[in-house]
Amino acid sequence: MPGICCFLMQARYEEYAMFLPHHLVSFASAGPRLAVATAAALAITAPTAVAAPAPAAPGNVDLAITSAPPTIAPGRSGIQKLTIANRGARTTGEVQVTFATPSYVNVDRASKLPKGCKIYYKNLDPTVNEVIACRLPRGLAKGKPVTLSVPLRVTERARLTGIVLGRAAAVPAPGSKDVESNLSDNWAITQLMLTQPTPPVPSGKNKVGLYLTRDTPATDVDGRTDAVFHYGNVGPNESGDIQITVVTPFYTRIDTERELPTGCTIELNDPVPGVPEIVVCKVDGLDVEDDDTLTLPLRMREGAPAGVLYGLALIAPATESDVDVDQQDNLSASGVHVPSRGKAGCDRK
């Protein structure tokens, strides 16, 4: 019934709103850089409005993934725990788990990965996310969750305290005959808490103040949309070239039928649902108080769940001669909104 569906979605928002930090809203008028940081913080923590998961259809699996946030200081190592559960029928094939590391974080090469896991995309640049892929054996049953302990190392490029985000997903592996009954909880934005001591700002470099925000566009009937990122430089100095890294949201890929902006390269392009794609864009530098936009063409994969799906984004100096004096507003969650056009949506008559 449409009334019940909309009531569940509204109730979830009201419950979440009780925990929103009110100071984020009250400080939004304190200046352009703080206002941008406030908007980014609210965007990152915004919930995905979905109805309560429906019971799995007979014979269908119902996978879900959650994470436990570790606390790690720059230059130190720690463990990100991912838990995969199944609320439906026992899996008859493998489960594919993918995890894009948070910004400024690499896979810890000094520690072993969990059994069945490998580094799927390697990149030691701390401003570009790495991706781990794991295969869980068949036989994942209801009430028997599996936890993967992923070793991570925070690089000393991170000079902030607070939360940085990763992206995890669990879906039936390619070749599996298992049918997933509810994709809305097959992905998660993971959190890693950065603590002090933070490395000092490098001396002798050109100090800049980059920031990044983004829109949350809705997809059209063909599953296409444009992700628009707004970025700028508040100084104190003109910046050199800039690098923007984007990890696509769950079940979202770069629309290769349309042209990418100049300077953008698809670093990880994968046809498998659940695997994130990664785009790295090199754009021109900005004068003080100058700003610009970057537009990426996106397309949803077939079967993408309705609601707001999130990925990751980061802005950083592309040249070694520049240093951003405050990284708090360099990160953003890159979201897309998939309208509920099916019979299960709240607009159902």
Average the pLDDT over each of 1-5, 75-79, 178-182, 330-334 and give the range with the smallest value. 1-5
CA distance 336 to 248: 9
Residue 20: the pLDDT is 34
CA distance 41 to 39: 5
Q: How many residues does the chain have?
A: 349
Residue 332: the pLDDT is 86
User: Quick one: which H or E segment has residue 67?
Assistant: strand 63-68
Looking at the predicted structure, is the pLDDT value of residue 21 above 70?
A: no
Looking at the predicted structure, is the pLDDT value of residue 331 above 50?
A: yes
Is the pTM for the entire model greater than 0.85?
A: no
Looking at the predicted structure, is the pLDDT value of residue 262 above 90?
A: yes
Mean pLDDT of the chain: 85
In this predicted model, which residue has the larger pLDDT, 12 or 292? 292
pLDDT tens digit sequence for 42-69: 334 333 434 445 555 656 999 999 999 9
Residue 347: the pLDDT is 41
Q: What is the largest CA-CA distance in the chain?
A: 65
| Percent of the chain with pLDDT strictly greater than 90 | 78
CA distance 303 to 214: 25
Q: CB atoms < 10 A from the CB of 74, how many?
A: 22
Residue 198 C-alpha from the chain's centroid: 23
Are the C-beta atoms of residues 201 and 208 closer than 8 Å to each other?
Answer: no
Of 131, 125, 85, 114, which is closest to residue 272 (Cα–Cα)?
A: 131
Looking at the predicted structure, is the pLDDT value of residue 233 above 70?
A: yes
The token pair that represents 336 in the structure block: 């897309």
Helices (H), the chain: 2-17, 22-26, 32-45
Amino acid at 213: T
pLDDT tens digit sequence for 280-324: 999 999 999 999 999 999 999 999 999 999 999 999 999 999 999
Give the confidence band of 341 by pLDDT, cuts at 50, 70, 90: confident
CB-neighbour burial class of residue 186 (10 A; exposed 0-12, middle 13-18, buried 19+): buried
The token pair that represents 118 in the structure block: 């490998």
